Structure 1
């Protein structure tokens, strides 16, 4: 179970890296942002899938700051949830070892 939480944290880190790159290039002419989606793997983990957005041919950056900032909140909450799940599992394992000991 912990491995699926770690996998999710790693996937969300990739998403955050792509998101940060998009935000950093908000003033770069002709910049086409990257889209990131998270999908489940066959072993119960997750992976980040990155692709280029469709260019609309604009001379300005095509980064949508409202989307990027909203995505950052989603990434932050997902990471917090996974970290809390790992902490809870660690505490449960510790309690089990205390009972057994």
Structure 2
């Protein structure tokens, strides 16, 4: 009987998924509160429900998003007292009229 409990516990641990609580959200699990950017180990079922509800993402999904977002570069050059900033990111600077 004790062997079955140990096997069940090991099986349950193998089925845990690491998720990250999303910005502006919080999750309470097993009596402990987790705020945004916290990592939580959840069962596949619990993780699926919270992902569908928009409260968490898998750690792997967050890492993938970070890798895709990286690679942007900013350069600052100073010549004759003037600074020039260049970036490979799309421009988000708006004119005074509010147009891009």
**Which TM-score band (shorter chain)?**
under 0.3
What TM-score results when the alignment is normalised by the length of structure 2?
0.26
Q: Which has the higher strand share?
A: 2
TM-score, normalising length: structure 1: 0.26
- Structure scoring higher RCO (CA < 8 A, sep ≥ 6) equals 1
